[in-house]
Chain A
C-alpha cells in the first residue's frame, strides 16, 4: 500500500480521522467540532500507478516503436496508426494515442477533453449589446458597442461556444439588440440632421 496523505480539516488544519469518512452523515471534526461530511474512494489508498518505461526489442522480427527504435511496440496510435511502445502509449478517452497526436489535438482544439479554456463569443456579443443599455449612464457607448456586438455575432456565428451544448439564442438576441440600437442611432442622426437643415 502506498503512503496515504492525510485529509485535513479545512477549518482547523488538523488531520481528519478515517472514522469520519463514508458514514453518510455530518460528523464533527474532533479538533474544532465543525460538522464535516466526507466520502473517500479506493484511489485514496491505492495511490498513483507508476508508468512503464517500455521493453527493449529482443529479436529483429519484433515491431519497434516509431519514436524509440529500440523499444518494442505494444499498440498502434488510434489516430495516426504509428506503432507505440509502453512509454509512448497514452491512454486517453478510451483511445491509445501518441504524444504528437495529443499535442496536435490540443493545439488545433480537435480534442474536446483537452480543452481547458474557451472564449464565449456569444456571451461577449450579448454583453456588449445589453450592458451599456442597461446601465443607462453608459448609454452613449452603444454608438461603439452596438456595431462591435453585431460584428462579433456575425463573425463568430459558427465558432464553437461552450463545451456544454447551447443554442444560438444569445447570438440572435445580440444581433437583435445591436441592430435596434444601430437603427436608433441612425434615426437620431437623421432627425438631428433634418432639424439642422
Chain B
C-alpha cells in the first residue's frame, strides 16, 4: 500500500520547541514538531511555496573547535597525570576514554559536514525548517522537493527571474513571530565605546601577562584575572550591542575574535589549573593553599604555564592592538565623511 508521507532527508532537529521533522506528501510538505506528548503540524502546499533557501552557519566549526579542545584538554590531563603524578592505569584509561568520546564526536561532526539554517517561504509566512540543519541534507531535501513543486507550479527559469524588477520598498510578508529578527530593522549609530573599552582592556592584559612571565607574583596574577573577567563582560556587551548598528565589519570581526580567544584562554587555563592542583596537592603541604596554587609554579619552571602565558600575552596584544587600530580607522572615516557633508 502506498504511504501517505515519506520522510525527507534531515535529522530530527532538536530545539527548545521540540523535535522537528519534514515529510513530503502528495500535494504538500508536512513539518512536524514533536513536543514529547503532542505534535504540531504545518503544511506547505506545493502550489503555495515561493522559495526554499538556506544559509551556511558556523555551528559545525564551533562544534569542531569545542570537541577538539575538550579532547586535547582531557588527553593532556590524562597524560600529565600519568607521567608526572603517577596516576594508576585505570585512572588514566578512564580519562582517556572520555577524551576518546569527544574525539568520536569530533569525527562525527566533521563527517556530517557544515551546518546551515533553512527557511521556506510562502505568500503569508517565512517558516524555519530546523530539521534541515546540515548543508548536505538540505541540498538533498530541496532536490527531493523541487520536482514536486515544479510539477504543481511549473518551472521558473533564470531569465524569467532576472526579468523581475528588483523590489525597492515593498512590505514584507508577515513573519512567524519567532522570526521577528528577520524583519529589516533600522541601522542605529553606535560610537563603539564598549568595543574601545574591550580592546584597551585586552591590550593592558597582554602587557601585564607579558610582564608576568619573568616576574610572577600574586598581584600581577590577580590583576590579570580581574582584567580577564572585565574583558569577558565587555565582549558580551559589545557583541550584543553591535547588531543592527553602523559599526564596521572590521571592528565586529575583532570583537568576535576577542570572544573566541577569551573562551580558548579560559579553557586552557582551566585545564592547567587542574594540573597545578594535582601538582600542589601531591606536595608535602597541609592541603591546597590558594596563594601557593597561584604563585608556586613559575613560568620558567613549567612549560605548560609558559606556553599559556605566551599565548595569552600575544593573543591579547594582537587582538587588542588590532581592535584599537580598527576603532581609530572607524573614527577617522566618520570624521572625514562628516567633513565632506
Contact = CB atoms under 8 A, between A and B. Distances in A.
Interface of A: 1, 3-11, 13-19, 21-23, 26, 29, 34-48, 93-94, 113, 115-120, 123-124, 127, 162-165
A162 B117 CA distance: 26
Contacts of B34: 120, 123
Contacts of A5: 167, 170-173
B191 interface: no
Interface string B104-117: 00000000000011
A42 B38 contact: no
Nearest to A162: B39
A47 B54 contact: no
Contacts of B157: 22
Contacts of B37: 119-120, 123-124, 127
Given A13-B182, A120-B39, A39 B167 contact: no
B90 interface: no
Interface stretch (B42-50, B78-86, B255-263): B42-50
Contact of B170 (A6, A17, A38): A6
B184 interface: yes
Given A113-B43, A117-B41, A164-B5, A37 B182 contact: no
Nearest to B123: A48
A109 B53 CA distance: 33
Nearest to B161: A18
Contacts of B56: 26, 34-36
B172 to A, nearest CB: 6
B146 interface: yes
Contact residues of A: prevailing secondary structure: loop
Given A17-B166, A116-B41, A36 B142 contact: no
Interface of B: 3-5, 23, 27-28, 30, 32, 34, 36-43, 47-56, 116-117, 119, 121-123, 135, 138-139, 142, 146, 149-150, 153-158, 160-162, 164-167, 170-173, 182-185, 244
Contact of B153 (A3, A13, A23, A43): A43
Nearest to B173: A5
B185 A19 contact: no
27 contacts: A1-B164, A7-B53, A13-B183, A16-B53, A21-B161, A22-B158, A22-B161, A34-B55, A36-B54, A36-B56, A37-B53, A37-B54, A39-B53, A39-B146, A40-B156, A42-B160, A113-B43, A115-B41, A116-B42, A117-B39, A118-B39, A120-B38, A123-B34, A123-B37, A162-B32, A163-B41, A164-B5
A123 B35 CA distance: 10
| Max chain A Cβ within 10 angstroms of own Cβ: one of B48, B50, B166, B244 | B50
A4 to B, nearest CB: 5
A83 B153 CA distance: 29
B1 to A, nearest CB: 10
A120 to B, nearest CB: 6
Contact of B156 (A7, A23, A45, A115): A45
B182 A8 contact: yes
A47 B156 contact: no
Contacts of A115: 41
Nearest to A45: B164
A12 to B, nearest CB: 9
Contacts of B55: 9-11, 29, 34-37
Most buried by B among A5, A39, A115, A124: A39
A119 B38 CA distance: 4
Contacts of A9: 55
A123 B23 CA distance: 20
A116 B40 contact: yes
Contact of A41 (B50, B170, B244): B50
A42 B156 contact: yes
A9 to B, nearest CB: 7
Nearest to A16: B53
